[in-house]
Amino acid sequence: MRMNTHYDDLETRSADARAAAQLQALQANIARVAATPGACRIEDGSVQDLADLRKLPVLRKSDLAAWQADNPPFGGIPVRNAAHVFQSPGPIYEPGGVTHDWWRMGRFLHAVGIGAGDVVQNCFGYHLTPAGMIFESGARAVGATVLPAGTGQTELQVQAAKAVGSTAYAGTPDYLKVLLDKSDALDVALNFTKAAVGGGALFPAMRQAYADRGITCLQCYATADLGNIAYESPAMEGMIVDEGVIVEIVTPGSGEPVAPGEVGEVVVTTLNPDYPLIRFATGDLSAALPGQSPCGRTNMRIKGWMGRADQTTKIKGMFVRPEQVANLVARHDEIVKARVIARRDGTQDAMTVQLETTGGAAEDYAASVAATLKLKGIIEVVSPGSLPKDGLVIEDQRDYETT
């Protein structure tokens, strides 16, 4: 793998140059959104610095689905240059373009080592959802040929891979093993040496098994709405944020950035002028890594997928949501952080609310807990820095197997 080659100069620019370019692109997108009646609650000129992003509302999938129901198909967001319309579960509808690498996947495929002369067997789905087209556009951007294999029909896929000489695989991490096992069963030698995967967990043992067969396997973090968000380089030290997005790590339910290195929800602002999504909440947990990648790319790195941020839990028959916990914290200036713990007390649900505060006693917060969480529970006051930095604001400790 090439450790010292980059897709373009954007990957190695200074932090100041990146921030200036991102601010300019962001302000242009905000101006377009603000000028579109009913699109979003964002005013032109509201962001004068990238730090001002935190002042804007977080856009969630539930919001997007509601907007689209009222104003189909894209909820009033100013979309342009759309060549396709895709559907994801919800249902949520996403536009897709055919201009050069519309989803910015070429940068990742280049990092994998895929380029001109490669034949990419694209095993992402082409039916309704955009994953197949996302990876195909990236393959075209790096000059590779695409075998649009889609999913299923494994024996036919093995035959096709052999016939056309597929050298690279794109798809979920586990389906590559299915193809390789089928090729072994059929005694067909395949020529895969590179794999660009996403949409599932790439476990270390799985990566090593592919490496033992001479296949370098790297993963990306992408969504149907946003395209590529972050990707691995040959250094394999975290995932490097794509140059076309701004990533924030925030406290689930609040939209407020966490301290550097802490786990929080991934909120993404895409700089794509054709589909400007601003502060779109992925619902995924991750954390920023310090420093820069050894491969020379200078952008922010994240640890990768670390769980789901939607920790909504039913306690005593009532839903408790991260947004409610955020509202509790916002009620008191001295509360730094809060954590709700769902547990069992005998045969009944019970709730403990842990509060990191700079002052105050448990009884001082009882009314606020009842008002925001709609439940009463044990309140524990702890000193700042005491609660785990794992991104959880609601922890379910109930054992569903024995209680």
How far apart, in Å, do the first and last CA atoms of the chain sit?
51
Angle at 63 between CA 354 and CA 105, to 5 degrees: 100
- Which three-class secondary structure state does DSSP give residue 213? coil
Residue 189 region by backbone torsions, left for phi larger than 0, else alpha for psi between -120 and 50, else beta: beta
Please, what is the angle between helix 204-212 and helix 173-185, to 10°?
40
Q: What is the pLDDT along the chain (403 residues), one digit of tens a residue?
A: 444 489 999 999 999 999 999 999 999 999 999 888 765 678 888 899 999 999 999 998 889 999 999 999 999 999 999 999 999 877 899 999 998 899 999 999 999 999 999 999 999 998 888 999 999 999 999 999 999 999 889 999 999 999 999 999 999 998 999 999 999 999 999 999 999 999 888 889 999 999 999 999 999 999 999 999 999 999 999 999 999 999 999 998 888 999 999 999 999 999 999 999 999 999 889 999 999 999 999 999 999 888 887 788 888 878 888 889 999 999 999 999 999 999 988 877 899 999 999 989 999 999 999 999 988 999 999 999 999 988 889 999 987 665 4
Determine how many CB atoms are found less than 10 A away from the CB of residue 318: 12
10 Å Cβ neighbour count for 236?
A: 16
Q: Which two tokens stand for residue 285?
A: 């947990």
